[in-house]
Structure 1
Amino acid sequence: MNRSGRAEPTTGLPEMDWAAGGIETELGWALPLVLQEFTRLGTDAVADVPGGPRGYQVLVAITTEETSSQLALARRLGVDKTQMTYVVDALEAGGYVERRPAPTDRRVRQVLPTAAGRELLARARLSLRDAEGVLMGHLSEDEQTSVRHLLARVALAAGATAPGADPAFQHPLAAPERSRRNPPSSIPSTTPQ
């Protein structure tokens, strides 16, 4: 039983012999498989968001981080600035974001969520959490939380050392210091329930 009183998931998976050093013990083997399945499930989960997974990431960033320019947002998410324009155009056409001139430099456009964008994000987040539950359903709630936390730490460390300063590379930039806003209460946390 876990802390919520529910039975722990049964895996149905064979026990791994970590000492044998088989292919399943290799991170380079596991990550692409997990990414492939997450991409399939996650893309379906956020299908209602214009721009799909990138549109979802834009909504998360603009609702949970300090306001920034479209160019800074593209760099933060590791998206080509031309592609970012298309994603923001699609979100704006749906009424989910708006562009406003920055108060300090009217040539710079900030991307801000609308009420409809916040509502769409809340629905998409719930759908994505369900998809993550399918992907990690063989893990306990505590294990799922640990996977999320550990992967976030690895991603932040990798982003900090990625060649993001070189414009020739399109790596997302680790910037946890930008997450200064508390998420609105209508957006569920990333911790599985």
Structure 2
Amino acid sequence: MAIDFMSMPISRYIVGDFITPAMRFAWESGVPYSIFGPEGVRQLPEGLPFGGPAAPARRASVIAMLAEDLRQLPGGVSIQLWDENSDAAPRFHRVDTASYEALVEEARKPIKSFLGFRKRGDSHRSHVAATLFLPCDFDAPFEMVTPLRRLTGSTFRALDALERMNWPRNAEAAVESLRAALMDSREGKMPMIVDW
């Protein structure tokens, strides 16, 4: 199973209005890109977005509804929203699966303190276990239920935790991949989605 970190507007992700590096690689190799799903195998011709030919039009039709959902998010997110209409190119990072599992396992562990003192960034560690990162600053991760059902963390808090915490050796590759993806999220002011 491959895991990708994808920085793009949520609307683009929901409707499949993107082309991944794996899709480009298949086409450049002269192989059709195939998607396996409940309805069977679907092949995408070269240049067609993941969600099919109607993906760009579907995206345009869901943005207003999505904006309403986003305005309902907790933690002050609604006053820090990004541009869902952005046509900036999505960014992708493939992560080593075993390393990412080790990173998430460590991020979910309860925080222990020594003599009541915690290292700066400890409280941000839980943001690292999120599967959706928003380019916003908020205290605690929360469960988004619409438009996606995802544990949602802050790009800024997760980056802080990656920099300040000591992560296990078997998580180092994932730390680097996640750091690069979160920097894309921060610099592009776009959500970053963990896709598997």
Same topology, TM > 0.5: no
Q: Which structure is higher in helix share?
A: 1
Name which one, 1 or 2, has greater alpha-carbon Rg. 1
Q: Which structure is higher in strand share?
A: 2
TM-score range, shorter chain: under 0.3
With the length of structure 1 as denominator, give the TM-score of the two structures. Answer: 0.22
